Structure 1
Amino acid sequence: MSRKTADDFHPEVLKLFDKYVHGLTSRRGFLEGAAKFAVGGITAAGLLEALSPKFAEAAQVQNDDPRIKTSYEEYATTIEGYGKIRGLLARPAKAEGKLPVVLVIHENRGLNPHIEDIARRLAVDNFIAFAPDALYPLGGYPGDEDKARDLFQKLDQNKTRADFVSAAGLLKFLPGSNGKVGAVGFCYGGGVVNHLATRVPDLAAGVPFYGNQPPTKDVAKIKAPLLIHYAGNDDRINAGWAAYEGALKEAKTRYEAFIYPGVQHGFNNDTTPRYDDNAAKQAWQRTVAFFNKNLRA
């Protein structure tokens, strides 16, 4: 059976799913709203299941891949945060010399299998990658996306962001690091990358995928070059882009921005039908090239 894509769903169902994923409507709200689009023997619950992640089917690099080494590591953070952070550390198995480090920041469900796969992909591309789990202080990613999303709302975001700032700082001194740290994040994580760029003066490169923009008053603090990815069909996030771009230009920040036409929020996440193969491959090739340019020189 062929894999479903965003084109297989009514645009209103995709909008409802986006609201559900981001906690703007409940499961019941999605099911009630989607019921009118459930035709041909497909139920609203079936639509939700079809849109939900299929992690095992999408993994590109397995944890036991001989090209990489992985481990779960815990690091102490500042008193402004939760005090410690834990995540997946992935590195090339046969690294030669010092390597740049990339902080990988998840969506609003914690460190799920897809984000771990992203970290492993970066290790295959000859980076050290660290993907923290913001849910660690609350017991960690629970293995269920709905439970993870509910748990995420219980985090103190001031503490969580402080932990990510700490992580960006400590990664400079990892064994094998060349001292240059970049950050890539998706959805919630894209917003965190934008935040880090305003808080970490020596961040060497930032790549936010469809993330919330920082306050325009903070944009002048950004020193890192940015590569910004947006989905064309993402009114909720894109509404803040004009003001952000204006502030970036006024501050003379080094940035590149790409809006991929006709694709959905989450287009890089290959575990769901919102994934778009062409846009994702193009965005990822640009991301790896951007990190190579800014983290290895």
Structure 2
Amino acid sequence: MWTSTSGRGIAVDGVLTDLPTWLPPSGRGPGLVLVQEIFGLDDYLRSVAAELAAEGYVVAVPELFHRTAPGWSSSHDEAGVAASMKVASAFDPALGLSDVLATVAHLRAQPAVSGGVGVLGFCLGGSLAFAAAAAGDPDVAVSFYGSTVAGQIADLAKITCPIQFHFGGQDPYIPRADVAVVEAAVAAHPGAEIHVQEDAGHAFHNNVAPMFHHPAAAARAWALTTAFLRRTLPA
């Protein structure tokens, strides 16, 4: 479990652990916990953090694999996917969720953060963003192609904050039938919305992974994401 500290990190089991944080140009704004894919804190995630900071958010990225593979970052080819899947197999989702929720609490306590704290995650992080919205108190959540969302969709009833889901219609890891389950649940849940890029597969927003990236779908989904954030967590 991570506990708040006053400075540049969060203490894990009594040891200060780095918490990379991006500040907006103004130096303050609403907080966003950006939750990683299985590839770790790589150039892609850093670029997303920088883009969100430019939008006016204080962005923090917890290291999900710090217990089993500290500092993990991999390539975005077949070998990198295989290596990352092996690292992810040792990951405890319950402990990862506790890290995400602790990072939300940490951001709320920072003087640079005002106007609320949200969570936004991709892939593994998309599943955890959904879980954090169900288990904790973020002010908004955005979940990109979380593979466990459909199986845990009953938890949507626990979520009171605005939440946005993104999926690819051609995702080989998340069947379109599972996405339809989420669509049906979202239709009956006020404050939730879902967007499916039917021409895209998994991880379509990852612009450093040629095997996944779908530029047109990524641009459409990101425009929807930033508009949603401006409505629900204005900077």
TM-score, with length taken from structure 2:
0.83
CA shift at 1:148, angstroms?
A: 4.1
Percent identity of equivalent pairs: 25
- How far off its partner does 1:191 sit? 0.8
Residues 1:113 and 1:296: Cα distance change in structure 2 (over 3 Å): same
Residues in 2 aligned to 1:175 and 1:139: alpha-carbon distance in whole angstroms: 31
The letter for the 2-side match of 1:94 is: S
Give, in whole Å, the separation in 1 of the partners of 2:11 and 2:183: 35
**By percentage of residues, which structure has more helix?**
1
The C-alpha deviation readout for 1:76-114, integer Å capped at 9, x for no partner, is 36x8xx98764320012433xx51111111111222221
Superposed displacement of residue 218, structure 1:
1.8
CA positional deviation for 1:224: 1.3
Contact 1:90–1:130 under 8 Å retained in 2? yes
**Match for 1:88: what amino acid?**
P
Counterpart contact for 2:33–2:119, Cα < 8 Å? yes
CA-CA distance at 1:225 after TM superposition: 0.9
Of 138, 146, 149, which aligns to 1:211?
Answer: 146
Q: Looking at both structures, which has the greater relative contact order when contacts are Cα pairs under 8 Å and sequence separation is at least 6?
A: 2
Matched with 2:3 is: none
Which secondary structure does the structure 2 equivalent of 1:245 belong to? helix
Label 1:86 to 1:179 Cα distance change in 2 as closer, same or farther (>3 A): farther
Aligned 8 A contact 1:85 1:163 in 2: no
Q: What is the match of residue 248 of structure 1? A: 186
* Higher radius of gyration, 1 or 2: 1
**Alpha-carbon distance in structure 2 between the residues aligned to 1:83 and 1:195:** 26
Distance 1:261 1:242 in 2: 12
Unaligned runs of 5+ in 1: 1-71
- 1:118 maps to 2:48: yes
Q: Do the aligned partners of 1:100 and 1:295 also contact (CA within 8 Å) in 2?
A: yes
Match of 1:74 in 2: 9
Query: When the two structures are superposed, what TM-score results if normalisation uses the length of structure 1?
Result: 0.67
Aligned to 1:177: 113
**Residue in structure 2 matched with residue 90 of structure 1 by the alignment:** 22
Q: Which residue of 1 aligns with 2:213?
A: 275
Q: CA RMSD in A?
A: 2.5
1:261 aligns with 2:190: no
Indicate if the aligned counterparts of 1:88 and 1:132 stay in contact, CA closer than 8 A. Answer: yes
* Whole-angstrom CA distance in 1 between matches of 2:9 and 2:66: 10
